[in-house]
Amino acid sequence: MSGLSRKNKMVSIVFVVVLLATLAVAISISFTYNVRAAVTKTTVDTQVQVGGGSLSNPLFGYTPQNVEIKVGQTVVWYVRPRVAAEPHTVTFVFDNKTMTLGFVASNQRVFNPAIIDLDDVTKIYPPNASLTITGTEKYVNSGWMFPAGPLPGSSSTFSVTFQEAGSYRYLCLLHPWMVGKVVVS
Ligand SMILES: [Cu+2]
């Protein structure tokens, strides 16, 4: 191997290294940009913590219990990580007939996010759903909420966008004395 070709090899290796470094920086910039874009795209107008407390002393409540928003805004209910003493739900019952008395925990309508519409059609959604209340629903349920991880298939967040002014009361199906309210104006 001559000295010249070795030099050429060195030059091309340096070139490839510089190219890779430039690519890495470009990718990381575009990744940061995309992540930022994704964060700003998600509308979170109000957050409500579901349950909480500690493993030995769980909190049965929504914090804050009452929230006020404007039409078109979104409330996100969330469960704090690493507190898994009790599952909870965020459940709006607009028509008493849709509330199954003596509900069974294995009922998919209870475990998964679900909406029952005016025509009694039940739509089941995957965990951590973002739903919209337009004012024509009979029943809107978060399904079981748990911190992410411990119970596969359960939700750790539940988002609802409110498209109609009004006062919306909700409760936890598992602890019916857990109640909250969203006032939309
Ligand atoms: Cu509860």
Q: Can you give the pLDDT of all 185 residues of the chain as single tens digits?
A: 445 555 565 555 444 444 444 444 443 433 333 333 333 334 568 999 999 988 888 899 999 999 999 999 999 999 988 776 689 999 999 987 766 544 444 455 678 899 988 888 889 999 999 999 999 999 999 999 998 876 777 899 999 999 999 999 999 988 989 999 999 99
pLDDT of residue 96: 75
> CA–CA separation, 35 vs 51, rounded Å?
29
In angstroms, what is the span from residue 61 Cα to ligand 1's centroid? Answer: 7
Q: pTM for this structure?
A: 0.72
> CA–CA separation, 64 vs 67, rounded Å?
7
In angstroms, what is the span from residue 12 Cα to ligand 1's centroid? Answer: 64
In angstroms, what is the span from residue 81 Cα to ligand 1's centroid? Answer: 16
pLDDT of residue 9: 59
In angstroms, what is the span from residue 167 Cα to ligand 1's centroid? Answer: 21
* Neighbouring residues of 131: CB distance < 8 A, sequence distance ≥ 6: 113, 115, 125, 140, 158, 159, 160, 161
In angstroms, what is the span from residue 5 Cα to ligand 1's centroid? Answer: 74
In angstroms, what is the span from residue 174 Cα to ligand 1's centroid? Answer: 5
* Neighbouring residues of 182: CB distance < 8 A, sequence distance ≥ 6: 66, 67, 68, 69, 75, 160, 162, 167, 168, 170
